[in-house]
Amino acid sequence: MFALSPSRLFSWFFWTYNARLVLTAGTMVVHGILQVSGTADVSAAIPGIAGLGHILLTVGMVLLFLALRTRLFGKREQGAEAATILATR
């Protein structure tokens, strides 16, 4: 088993993803309330901000996959070094 929490990329993922999730959900709720209340002119900025939130959620997911890749391949290299050391003894 590997731990992701010590990874700097995971820390960036965690804060980026969660902050953008709140931004995206909040703007979608505001847009929904305005649409249900019958406001005729919903500003294009509200769906635009929600769209930017979705883009930044994707950036957060890329950071998660980079953190996973770093931890997975780092463990394999350490395991290979340990096997080499044991084989030479």
Domain ranges of the chain: 9-88
Gyration radius of the chain's alpha carbons: 21
pLDDT at 5 over 70: yes
pTM reported for the whole predicted model? 0.67
Going by pLDDT thresholds of 50, 70 and 90, the confidence category of residue 61 is very high
Q: Which pair of structure tokens corresponds to residue 65?
A: 């996959």
